[in-house]
Chain A
Amino acid sequence: MRYGVRKDGSGSLASMYGATRDAGFGPEVKRRILLGTYVLSAGYYDAWYGRALKVRSLLRRDFEQAFEHVDVLAGPTSPTAAFRLGEKKDDPVAMYLADVLTVPVSLAGLPAISVPCGFVDEGGKRLPIGLQLVGRARADARVLRVARAFESATDFARARPPHHVSTAKGGAA
């Protein structure tokens, strides 16, 4: 094992694999591995993985239909502004829901970009929000052009939240 953690376990190959994966992966990664293993296992394969593949095809078709009428889809990147670190640790489903607007795009295999588009006030803080631009398959260049046009026409990309401290060199946060 050339990179990362290695734990030897009780001497056998399987126990080394087990100990290493147990020590090296965090709870969310483990959750996803377990889920993935479950949906791919014999007996559940068709019910979960097979159906998911069908849903993905439907999703792709849905997007294709939309692109018969428009060049690019624009919408929020995330359904909410940023939550606090670890805030949804105990509620994975709520956490997954934060990805609900980006995952379908990935599943459909479409090019997309997120660009800054302003701030919202929440809990007494000004939090940044993103605009997601989605293009049809292989229209990566168009998506980038639209994003650049949006950034040129607005000041959002250069805007900083009030408490942001800019360094002398104009560096990052």
Chain B
Amino acid sequence: MTPRTSLDVGGMGHSIKRKEDPRFIRGKGTYVDDVQLPGMLWLDIVRSPHAHAKIVKIDTAAALATPGVLAVITGQDLAKYNLHWMPTLMSDTQMVLPVDKVMYQAQEVAAVLATSRYAAADGAAAVTVEYEPLPVVVDPKKALEPGAPVLRTDKKDKKDNHIWHWEWGDRAATDRAMAEADVTVKQDIYIPRIHVASIETCGCVAHFDKVNDKLTVWMTTQAPHAIRTVFALVAGHVGLQEHKIRIISPDIGGGFGGKVPVYPGYVIAVAASVLTGKPVKWIEDRMENLQADSFARDYHITAELAAKKDGTLTALRIKTLADHGYTDAAANPSKFPAGLFHVCTGSYDLKAAHVEVDGVYTNKPPGGIAYRCSFRVTEAVHTIERMVDLMAHQLGQDPAQFRLQNFVKPEQFPYKSALGWEYDSGNYGGALLKAMEQIDYARLRKEQQEKRQRGQLMGIGISSFTEIVGAGPSKHFDILGLKMFDSCEIRIHPTGKAIARFGTKSQGQGHETTYAQILAEELGIPARDIQVEEGDTDTAPYGLGTYASRSTPVAGAAAAVAARKVRDKARKIAAHLMEVAEQDLEWEPGKFSVKGAPDKFKTIQDIAFAAYTNHPQGLEAGLEAVSYYDPPNLTYPFGSYICVVDIDAGTGEVKVRRFVAIDDCGNIINPMIVQGQIHGGLTMGLAPALYEEISYDDNGNIQGGSFIDYLLPTAVETPKWETGHTVTPSPHHPLGAKGVGESATVGAPAAIANAVVDALWHLGVRHIDIPITPAKVWKVLREKGVTE
């Protein structure tokens, strides 16, 4: 797409440098832990070594005797204010601090308030807690067996560990199609627990000003406005009212979904500040972050896919156990307890599909949040892409050709999927063919054959994913009743510069730049003249925040709509200034000119000045607008990824030799930023595919609870990503754009897993669960008699 604006204006399509970078490259960002207030106190948290245990006694004497320690806060203390439990985003309940028992290892048990970071740590180390261990449930299948210990004894009539059953699609039609199919494939797929592990952990500084009854909280949150409302709803009875709560989300060192929930630490810090009237800082360390913050995934999936002899796919059936830990604290739209998992028919034209998911309680930390992924979409994509590959191999067909045959075709859009989604636009074949060409697919297949003759293990894997982002149309999407619109407020100053504020919050995506570019595109005001602000609930308009790749689809659209409102008023002013009728004016970015007399024009800057100095009678002064944008549909970005792996038969190591990613996110605002999002997303797809997992032993002890064993890839493990794109605009988005932040995370794991299985298919290997570690591959190889 050739940009409509000049590089100087920097509208859509320009790779302008980011406006946020000058502070970051000087070390002048302000992250939560950089906030230091006079008289500030510190909070450190005592955590449970047990996964399930009764609390017999909490002895705080030694802690209170530690120099600098002011108080030890327990569940009993919070219970006095009825703050020991809080609601989760899925209307379940979660402990802030326990009064009688702990439900997972590393759960908060007590909090120590002290005058310094070091004293708080000493205090936490000095608290002794006596526990009486209870039977531990880690396996969700066992959790559902009759006689399993019931975990949620706090819920009066709860007799088992089953949280909810959810199903979607036409069961009868799917069963029929399955029965009639020529070929079916069936596979158990486990998608493990993983953790977003942004390099900045979570934390806050809570400051309750007793004189003005005002609470200000600097916190690592992706959704400051929603948090303010939740605080007001949960703590209204202790005097916190919404107009007296200010949430400030400062610079955030990566979010990826992990900074959506409300964690107990935040609430304890707020309570401590309200009680003492002093600022209180809580910053979790990495182990607390990995062990206690919300996790992602943990889906035990059984999938069946059906096809005709000629390779036409017909039906998909999925049953899933969703391990939610001890509470359902997933960050999903309320109506969808399994998120958007039912986008699992993917890029394929299936006639029938049915999905069932059962949520289960176990003795693990709560979660079911994203990992740079929109509401369970990775789970969906991984399943369908693995299954389609299985089917292609089963039928002896080339996986690329097989996909091309079964894709939803461009002329079928808008396309209604078997599970009821209306895909807005797509050209799946276009992306796959481009990826095949870029990587030279035919030559790779030849190389693979030659290598196989020599006993070398090389695999080629494809993933042709369809994403679903930009929640969402408010008739279907809300979180705790709050509709999932988003907002933009623009004010043009007399000198033609502007400030724009949003309800979202960037965590590295570069909103200060891309939003300014959208406004530059719509108004012709240079992006550098537009100040973008987010994350302060006292100043920004209400919005639901940044996650699930919704900022561009929703807040970006709000920006365009608000800008168009500004333009409508600007037209009136221009008509007044040039003494012509409004309909005689023509807009091009930056100015209104008189039709047929192009040298007669007023620039947006002229108009802005006039809005304050010479506005027409009968029109209000000023030039500003607000939009609360409620999208008519979600957007459906897509792409095709091809990956080449080599496997070391001696050690089981998998090396990603090449990885080509062709993405389509509709019209592109800043190509540089989009490519950066894809690089990052691919790396967060590589990570769970080969390295990352959080697991538990039979006693509920966490494995992988620090960076010693939770393996974030370094630059050495990460391949040199090769990217490209096609452009299929969204028909309903004002800019034709779609979200992109998560596509690559969603699409990449399946490409890698498919490549590994492709390398080993001839040995009889059908599936390996991610993460595909050297140890797992070695085991499979030796079972198949391959050795060095």
A joins B in a complex: no
